[in-house]
Amino acid sequence: MPSYTQRTLEYLRKEGYVPWMVERWLPIHGIPGGGKRVDAFNLLDIVAYRTHAYGNVTMYGIQSTGPSGHASHRRSMLENEHLPLAARRSNAGLADIMAQAPREARRQAAAMGTPD
């Protein structure tokens, strides 16, 4: 099954955006397999833009997560020192959280009549 980030990238491409991964894995030398993921500005996994027919550009900064991580990622975005500055300085600077539910969970939610 594709990761949440892979699903988000696929969705963005289908919607006409050009996405770019800005989250990186930084290995810790001397510890096999050790390391940590680092987001751009401790906030973003993906940056994506789309040029509209009339020439304007929409740009998004995206934190990709699963349904269980949505609340904690939202909290970290609201507390992030860089987000308010970016929002004040740019008329195109938008940030979003894309929580991708696995297909099976969406099917179960639909069967129970609850939104996913």
pLDDT digits (tens, 9 = 90+) for 75-88: 887 788 777 665 55
pLDDT digits (tens, 9 = 90+) for 8-62: 899 899 989 999 999 888 888 888 888 988 888 888 889 998 888 888 888 888 8
CB environment 18-55: b (16+ within 10 A), e (fewer): ebeebeeeeeeeeeeeeeeeebbeebbbbbbeeeeeee
Q: Provide the residue ranges of all domains of the chain, joining segments of one domain with +.
A: 4-112
pLDDT at position 100 over 70? no
Does the global pTM surpass 0.85?
Answer: no
Model confidence band, residue 94 (pLDDT cutoffs 50, 70, 90): low
